[in-house]
Structure 1
């Protein structure tokens, strides 16, 4: 299945976001454009690869924890998946719960969760203005 067709059929907002990034990048980068047309690659398999690579960073002391990063990290993994022909995708452990949220740059895209849960409300942080002290006599200011 061609990349564009697969992207149109996709329902997972996180996968759609990665697919849209790859499509936009392909407009300016011919190597990405060519890689998206590879017959042995798929957007679903790309997502599985990204999740597997993220899962590797979550594993600590025999248990899975949580991991945070920015969208660029996920995009880089997706580009890497399409670049390399010999990537092996390892299945995720059956006891692992996956929750994927991407930055809220686009309000029309919703977070994807395997288990819905209420997020804690953020508390407002008071900003304390520090007074600027003049440097001691004879001391050079770096600012």
Structure 2
């Protein structure tokens, strides 16, 4: 189950049970794409050294917050991240993990020692 499928399922259930939330969930100014972007950005703020592990409940709360507040919008950033949702298990706590995109390694600069004199050897 992907993160989008998880959120669509849970938010759909909430909308069917709560008419006030249904009205906000069906708002044309809000979209699942922007919701996922908002959740990813909030997770990135909690990351330590580029990694964050956030429970499904916290992710759901972020998504609900996105739909409930009129002035909550994600920023339009282009940073790459991979979101992995945990596989469903027997009523155990679930987690979503944000895995940063690996950065290319920089090459070390070569030092030119051709003009340096050797104190213990001969010229």
TM-score (norm 2): 0.65
Match status 1:16 vs 2:1: no
Q: CA separation in 1, counterparts of 2:100 and 2:21?
A: 30
Match status 1:55 vs 2:40: no
- Residues 84-127 of structure 1: per-residue CA shift (max 9 Å, x gap): 11113123453xx4222223117xxxx9x897xxxxxxxxxxxx
Secondary structure of 1:85's counterpart equals coil
Bigger strand fraction: 2
Give yes or no for contact 1:70–1:103 (8 Å, CA) kept in 2.
no
Aligned to 2:115: none
Q: 1:114 to 1:53 in 2, by over 3 A?
A: closer
CA RMSD, Structure 1 to Structure 2 (Å): 2.7
> Rg larger in 1 or in 2?
2
Match of 2:19 among 12, 30, 33: 30
Paired residues, number: 94
Aligned to 2:69: 84
Moved runs in structure 1, 4+ residues, more than 6 A?
A: none
Q: CA separation in 2, counterparts of 1:55 and 1:92?
A: 12
Match status 1:101 vs 2:84: yes
Deviation at 1:40, TM superposition (A): 0.7
- Residues 43-75 of structure 1: per-residue CA shift (max 9 Å, x gap): 1111111011111111x5xxx421112101110
Deviation at 1:37, TM superposition (A): 1.3
Gaps of 5+ in 2: 90-96, 102-123
